[in-house]
Amino acid sequence: MNRFSGPVLIILVLSVLPLTAGDVTLLNPRFDESPSLDRAGTSYFFPFPLDLRDSFLTLEYRSGLSCRLILSDGTGKESYALPPLDGSSDLSRRYTLEEKPPFPVSSAELRDWQDRPVPFTLTLTGRDEYDYPAPEADHGTILYSDRPVEGDYLLYRWTEGDHILIFDFRDYDTQDLYLKRLAFFMEKPGFRGTLMTNEEMAGLHGWNAHDYSKEGLADFFNLARDTDFPLSREEEALRQILLNGGILIDGGETYLTGRGAIVSLTRETTPVLRERFITHESLHGIFFTDEEFRESIRKYWLSMPARYREIWRFFMVNNFYDPRDEVLMYNEMMGYTLQLHRKEVEDYFVWRFHRIGEIHPERRDYIDGVVPYLPQAMLKIYDDLSELVRLRYPYDNGAFQRAD
């Protein structure tokens, strides 16, 4: 459909969208400074449409709920989910729309998730001047970056997958402050679905690296909200990051799911394990965000010989995963297998099973019965899962580097 432009567009916008008391007409669309919030409007109109291919809209507003930014060119509209901003931290003072609208923008309107108009101000930021809070990066950039971690973490948006944020934390202790409670809530047998206090978690190990879906994150923060559970400063900052990134949406009474997932690793991890962990966790990221890929893994799990599934449940139980969660079982099967290079598969799993026997001598008989055919079984699973990855992503496994 052809879009209007120039003077015809101005007449159309002003006639179809009549100005109200909360509206503001911006006569100079190259504005550099926004008015104070006490002079803000709930809608803005631009006499000359804004082409946002080379610029960002930055908004400042106050809202306890997530908002919808509605951009129009006079003939069509695009809506974008924006986070609640209360000004309590740097993460919640202003928001920059990083997405590119598909048309030059003639009007902008902001409403909260209960459809109430929200006063806001606007500034334009050049894309060459903008400091991305989560710059796009591939695994090589993340693993071999010499950027210092000046705060608690570096944050990236993975170039592959759909809206996957990767946290690179300063060390394990810092990672625990943000994600340890989530680990018990999401995956630990005996603790799943409960919010543990700091005292209850003391002395218990979370994970060395993490991955969480938007659904699990929403469940965690909804339970904390419903029960007035006291979250840490770091967990509150995480929630704002999820809201800013569109992974969660605050609807007022409940947190809703947007799009994406999060994964994490730390700078304290050795280089070899960093490569393994980022591969493992990123595989979970695409599992969470790619429905067709997730379904292919589920079907493969169901097609496996029952003995193979039994072996995996045994392995998962002895690595502190809840075996009652069927999705967790085949998600982790994929992660533990494809985090390896093919040449590592046989020795890795034979060693891991013998290690279980050293810790639990009473399980030695079962392990001795499994180990003779374990290498062949694991290589078969590795090759089959590798093919499922290659059908959708151009990668070699083990390092998740782009295949030639």
pLDDT band at 260 (very low <50, low <70, confident <90, very high): very high
Q: Examine the domain organization and report whether 140 and 82 are in the same domain.
A: no
pLDDT exceeds cutoff 60 at 13:
no
pLDDT band at 163 (very low <50, low <70, confident <90, very high): very high
**Cα–Cα distance for residue pair 194/220, rounded to 1 Å:** 9
Q: By the 8 A CB rule, do 86 and 65 touch?
A: no
* Residue entry with tokens 């400042």: 60
Higher pLDDT, 206 or 1: 206
Q: Examine the domain organization and report whether 138 and 16 are in the same domain.
A: no
Could you read off the pLDDT of 166-187 as tens digits, one per residue? 999 999 999 999 999 999 999 8
**Signed CA dihedral, 17, 18, 21, 25: sign only:** positive
pLDDT of residue 388: 94
pLDDT of residue 324: 85
Domain count, the chain: 3
One-letter-per-residue 3-state SS of the chain: CCCCCHHHHHHHHHHHCCCCCCEEECCCCCCCCCCCHHHCECEEEEEEEECCCCEEEEEEECECCCEEEEEECCCCEEEEEECCECCCCHHHCCEEECCCCCCCEEEEEEEECCCCECCEEEEEEECCCCCCCCCEECHHHHHCCCCCCCCCEEEEEECCCCCEEEEEECCHHHHHHHHHHHHHHHCCCCCCCCCCCHHHHCCCCCCCCEEEEHHHHHHHHHHHHHHCCCCCHHHHHHHHHHHHCCCEEECCCCEEECCCEEEEEECCCCHHHHHHHHHHHHHHHHHHHCHHHHHHHHHHHHHCCHHHHHHHHHHHHCCCCCCCCHHHHHHHHHHHHHCCCHHHHHHHHHHHHHHHHHHCHHHHHHHHHHHHHHHHHHHHHHHHHHHHHHCCCCECCCCCCECC
Percent of residues, the chain, with pLDDT higher than 70: 91
Q: By the 8 A CB rule, do 308 and 167 touch?
A: no
Q: Of 126, 154, 179, which one is at a domain's C-terminal end? A: 126
Residue 276 lies in a domain: yes
Higher pLDDT, 387 or 400: 387
Higher pLDDT, 188 or 199: 199
Q: By the 8 A CB rule, do 47 and 27 touch?
A: yes
pLDDT exceeds cutoff 80 at 265:
yes
Q: Examine the domain organization and report whether 108 and 47 are in the same domain.
A: yes
pLDDT of residue 198: 95
pLDDT band at 158 (very low <50, low <70, confident <90, very high): very high
Average pLDDT, the chain: 89
The predicted model scores a pTM of: 0.88
* Residue entry with tokens 């503001």: 24
pLDDT exceeds cutoff 80 at 151:
yes
pLDDT exceeds cutoff 80 at 380:
yes
Q: Of 244, 265, 289, which one is at a domain's C-terminal end? A: 289
What does the pLDDT average to over 266-292? Answer: 95
Q: Examine the domain organization and report whether 166 and 222 are in the same domain.
A: yes
Q: Examine the domain organization and report whether 166 and 17 are in the same domain.
A: no
What does the pLDDT average to over 149-165? Answer: 93
What does the pLDDT average to over 266-282? Answer: 95
Q: Examine the domain organization and report whether 271 and 363 are in the same domain.
A: no
What does the pLDDT average to over 56-66? Answer: 93
Q: Is 255 exposed, middle or buried (0-12, 13-18, 19+ CB in 10 A)?
A: buried
Q: Examine the domain organization and report whether 150 and 179 are in the same domain.
A: yes
pLDDT of residue 28: 67
Q: Of 289, 304, 326, which one is at a domain's C-terminal end? A: 289
pLDDT exceeds cutoff 70 at 9:
no
Q: By the 8 A CB rule, do 316 and 329 touch?
A: yes
Range of the domain at 348: 291-404
Percent of residues, the chain, with pLDDT higher than 90: 71
pLDDT of residue 14: 39
pLDDT of residue 396: 64
Q: By the 8 A CB rule, do 182 and 212 touch?
A: yes
pLDDT of residue 130: 81
CATH number at residue 56: 2.60.120
What does the pLDDT average to over 37-62? Answer: 88
pLDDT exceeds cutoff 80 at 2:
no
Could you read off the pLDDT of 94-132 as tens digits, one per residue? 999 998 899 999 999 999 999 999 999 998 888 777 888
Residue 234 lies in a domain: yes
pLDDT exceeds cutoff 70 at 45:
yes
Q: Examine the domain organization and report whether 295 and 368 are in the same domain.
A: yes
Could you read off the pLDDT of 295-338 as tens digits, one per residue? 999 999 999 999 999 999 999 999 888 888 899 999 999 999 99
pLDDT exceeds cutoff 80 at 22:
no
Single out the residue of 209, 200, 118, 136 nearest to residue 172, CA to CA.
209
Q: Examine the domain organization and report whether 63 and 187 are in the same domain.
A: no
